[in-house]
Amino acid sequence: MALDYDSIGKRIKRYRMDKKMSQEDLGEIIHATPVYLSYIENGSRSPSLELLVMIANALDVSADDLLTDNLKHSSSPVGTEIHDLLLDCNNDEKAILTKTVKFLKATLVEYGV
């Protein structure tokens, strides 16, 4: 199975932007040039396993978070559909969705569903 480096790169970019980090900032942490990071983020270069782990650590995410749609079995307790949905949200949207899910869960518990 070939890895989908395009989706991995998009996730790296999204997590980097969520952290309000530039490619230069991330590059300094992982000892890579901003140009090379750009290649990774647009899927034209594939990072080594070592670099992928360094990126995950620098962004304070798990490798699963970066590889989620490439894994048959993930340690993530949330399905990839919900995970991908949340990844595509800004902070306000994430907060609203989180409150909504908590409310729905409480309602299900209340009615014994």
Pick the closest to residue 32 from 18, 11, 16 (CA basis): 16
pLDDT of res. 45? 94
- For residues 25 and 49, is the Cβ–Cβ distance under 8 A? no
The most distant pair of C-alpha atoms in the chain lies apart, rounded to whole Å, by 55
**Structural domain boundaries of the chain?**
1-74, 77-113
Interatomic CA distance for residues 85 and 82, integer angstroms: 5
pLDDT tens per residue across span 38-71? 999 999 999 999 999 999 999 999 888 888 766 5
- For residues 12 and 53, is the Cβ–Cβ distance under 8 A? no
Mean pLDDT within 15-26: 95
Considering only the top CATH level, what class is 1-74?
Answer: mainly alpha
Q: pLDDT over 90 for what percent of the chain? A: 60
